[in-house]
Structure 1
Amino acid sequence: MTAEPQEIRKGRKYDQVLHGAREVFLGEGFEGASVDDIARAAGVSKATLYSYFPDKRLLFLEVARSECRRHADSAMAEIRTSGPPAEVLGRTARRKIAFYTSDFGLRMFRVFVAESARFPDIGRAFYKSGPEMGRAHLMDYLRQAVERGELEIADLALAADQFHELCRADLFYRAIFNVTQEFTPEECDRVADGAVATFLARYGT
């Protein structure tokens, strides 16, 4: 049984409920988050919360979708441009690295990895509204760059995935395993510049 097909009622306190749920889920995870805690954080009654989200999984999925949409919309401002690949990919890499190493980005990743084994629909919904959406946006830009003769790419999906992984080099893994909690701008630039240089060495014209 999946929570995805259910329609969500939106009203005056929808954003309030979502904000409170975001804070509790990121702090406690799905299993540790109680409806009482979410209602308290949102400043609403349990009856009001249930009127919007009768199922906790539905609320969790909506928090995920909302946050992923926000991040994707922000990233689109960088990717949807006719600028040269070195410039566009450089900005995209820095935005990706900033998100991957942020407290929010790391918490989101940990929560969804932890819950996706027990609730596969949660993992699938997160992938569709987050990584898959970002991949599609990057593929659109790469396709335009190929059409302009700026890149030579036969497999756009693979190229987008490779760029994504290049941006996760070193810093993300140190962050996710709590080896390092803060990174200097120079460290982030090193990974971003290396990602772009490696990508263009493979696909640049």
Structure 2
Amino acid sequence: MPDGACNKVRRGRKFDQVLAGARDVFLSDGFEGASVDEIARRAGVSKATLYSYFPDKRLLFMEVAKAECVRQADQAVEKIDMSAPVRHVLIEAAQQMQRFITSDFGLRIFRICVAESERFPTLGAEFYESGPALVRNRLIGFFKTAAERGELKIDDFDLAADQFQALCKSDLRERLIMQVVTSVSEADRKRITDAAVDLFLARYGA
């Protein structure tokens, strides 16, 4: 599976099966350490089938990351009642973001993107578009709706979305990535979430 050999992903009957196997291998072995043989074995497919779907390992990795990010984002949207009061929606959104960035998957994918950024300069940008940018765009959509309802007063929706995400993350991921801590307590999450929402509404609440 030569990196950069082809930019086309082909879908087929065993596509999801291949993704599931690749997800396990990438998370356990990293991008560089992930072997085609092991991915095919975990997926229960032949190497020929794997190559036919993904002739480029980078494409396979990005497809795994995108699929999980979209799944997490869709799941978050389904759980949040966007018609609820703005404070309630913001708290729910903050909690969903925190769960993903501090999850085992979220941390491992972040580490892999950073580790491979020099070898594949576009990797980080592609991950950003499929993950953080997706959340950002959905926040912007909600902010615009809330502004129309008179619950928020925002001039720069892009900046407001960036600020809200930054407030919700605080230094959670940094502490976990650098192994300053090995887990985050619910009390710590609540403290950060409540402060993030309070600060955001102090600035943008109508």
TM-score of the two chains, using structure 2 as the length reference:
0.92
In the alignment, the residues of structure 2 paired with residue 84 and residue 64 of structure 1 have an alpha-carbon distance, to the nearest angstrom, of 32
Q: Which residue of the partner structure matches residue 128 of structure 2?
A: 127
Q: Which residue of the partner structure matches residue 169 of structure 1?
A: 170
Q: Which residue of the partner structure matches residue 66 of structure 2?
A: 65
Q: Which residue of the partner structure matches residue 94 of structure 1?
A: 95
Structure 2 residue runs of 5 or longer lacking an equivalent are none
Secondary structure, in 3 states, of the residue corresponding to 1:151? coil
AA at the equivalent of 2:115: A
AA at the equivalent of 2:74: D
Deviations 1:55-112 (A, max 9, x none): 1111112111111111121222256712211000000111111111111111111111
Secondary structure, in 3 states, of the residue corresponding to 2:116? helix
State the 1:6 CA deviation.
3.4
In the alignment, the residues of structure 1 paired with residue 171 and residue 199 of structure 2 have an alpha-carbon distance, to the nearest angstrom, of 15
In the alignment, the residues of structure 2 paired with residue 68 and residue 139 of structure 1 have an alpha-carbon distance, to the nearest angstrom, of 18
In the alignment, the residues of structure 2 paired with residue 166 and residue 85 of structure 1 have an alpha-carbon distance, to the nearest angstrom, of 16
CA contact (8 A) 1:19 1:42 kept: yes
State the 1:172 CA deviation.
2.1
CA contact (8 A) 1:78 1:88 kept: no
Secondary structure, in 3 states, of the residue corresponding to 1:117? coil
Deviations 1:115-160 (A, max 9, x none): 1222122222111111111100000000111111111111100110
CA contact (8 A) 1:80 1:141 kept: no
Q: Which residue of the partner structure matches residue 158 of structure 2?
A: 157
AA at the equivalent of 1:175: L
Structure 1 residue runs of 5 or longer lacking an equivalent are none
**1:185 is the counterpart of 2:180:** no
Q: Which residue of the partner structure matches residue 146 of structure 2?
A: 145
Change beyond 3 A, Cα 1:108–1:172: same
CA contact (8 A) 1:78 1:92 kept: no
In the alignment, the residues of structure 2 paired with residue 153 and residue 77 of structure 1 have an alpha-carbon distance, to the nearest angstrom, of 25
In the alignment, the residues of structure 1 paired with residue 70 and residue 101 of structure 2 have an alpha-carbon distance, to the nearest angstrom, of 16
In the alignment, the residues of structure 2 paired with residue 133 and residue 171 of structure 1 have an alpha-carbon distance, to the nearest angstrom, of 20
In the alignment, the residues of structure 2 paired with residue 110 and residue 37 of structure 1 have an alpha-carbon distance, to the nearest angstrom, of 21
In the alignment, the residues of structure 2 paired with residue 9 and residue 173 of structure 1 have an alpha-carbon distance, to the nearest angstrom, of 36
In the alignment, the residues of structure 2 paired with residue 87 and residue 78 of structure 1 have an alpha-carbon distance, to the nearest angstrom, of 12
Following superposition, which runs of at least 4 residues in structure 1 exceed 6 angstroms of deviation? none
AA at the equivalent of 2:118: A
Secondary structure, in 3 states, of the residue corresponding to 1:139? helix
- How many residues were matched structurally? 203
When the two chains are superposed, the root-mean-square deviation of aligned CA atoms in Å is 1.7
Matches within 5 A, 1:9-158: 9-78=10-79, 81-158=82-159
State the 1:113 CA deviation.
1.4
AA at the equivalent of 2:198: A
CA contact (8 A) 2:62 2:127 kept: yes
State the 1:52 CA deviation.
1.1
